[in-house]
Amino acid sequence: MPVIAPMPAPRTTRIPSQREGAEETMTAGTTVDHLTETYRAHYRSLLGLAALLLDDTASCEDVVQEAFIRVHSARNRVRDPEKTLAYLRQTVVNLSRSALRRRILGLKLLSKPMPDMASAEEGAYDQLERDALIKAMRGLQRRQREVLVLRYFADMTEAQVAETLSISLGSVKAYGSRGIAALRVAMEATT
């Protein structure tokens, strides 16, 4: 695999003052050369680590590359070059966890089923049927319409309809039967 790493800046030889020397010693950290050697020596093992945590090769490669980028940008904080590999391993693990979290969150968001809704055509067809039914109901005799509305839309029993309209139970049955027959004829004429 080709190694992609920035060229190290040319080093100038100058004698630092006592104060500058102390700061330079504190911020020396991991060098780019050491990081390049770590890349050559441990890239495959870090890729294997990522493969144990993730399921596809592309994600594993992305995680390992991102780990090297992060270590490179934070190389001044890794003061002991011997800890670079440990820092890389921990970064690979953390990035793998983050990738899995994003996947799980994506699956949760995508797995919610869409609510059952009628299509636009079904809604339009239902509206046409309702309109036809209302028109047919308006064409019935007043008593037939009252009996059917109370019986089927208000969900009353025949006895309750008879009591509400102050008519006999037999009249409720007769008006209901004749009203349904008239509705059937009117609805068939519209289709």
Query: pLDDT band at residue 121, thresholds of 50, 70 and 90?
Result: confident
Give the model's pLDDT for residue 115: 66
∠ CA(33), CA(35), CA(40), 5° rounding? 95
Percentage of residues in the chain with pLDDT exceeding 90? 36
Query: pLDDT band at residue 26, thresholds of 50, 70 and 90?
Result: very low
Query: Taking residues 155-179, what's their average pLDDT?
Result: 93
Between 118 and 54, residue with greater pLDDT:
54
Token digits of residue 128: 């046409």
132-146 burial, b at 16+ Cβ within 10 Å, e below that, comes to eeeebbeebeebbbb
Token digits of residue 58: 């592309």
∠ CA(81), CA(82), CA(83), 5° rounding? 90
- The one-letter code for the residue type at 164 is T
List pLDDT tens digits, range 105-118: 877 777 666 667 66
86-109 burial, b at 16+ Cβ within 10 Å, e below that, comes to ebbbebbbebbeebeeeeeeeeee
Q: What is the longest distance spanned by two Cα atoms in the chain?
A: 118
Q: How far is 162 from 173, CA to CA, in rounded Å? A: 9
Is 172:162 a contact under the CB 8 Å cutoff? yes
Q: Of 187, 190, 179, 185, nearest to 140 (Cα)?
A: 179
Per-residue pLDDT at 178 exceeds 90:
yes
Residue-wise DSSP of 23-60: HHHHT--S-HHHHHHHHHHHHHHHHHHHHHH-S-HHHH
Query: pLDDT band at residue 20, thresholds of 50, 70 and 90?
Result: very low
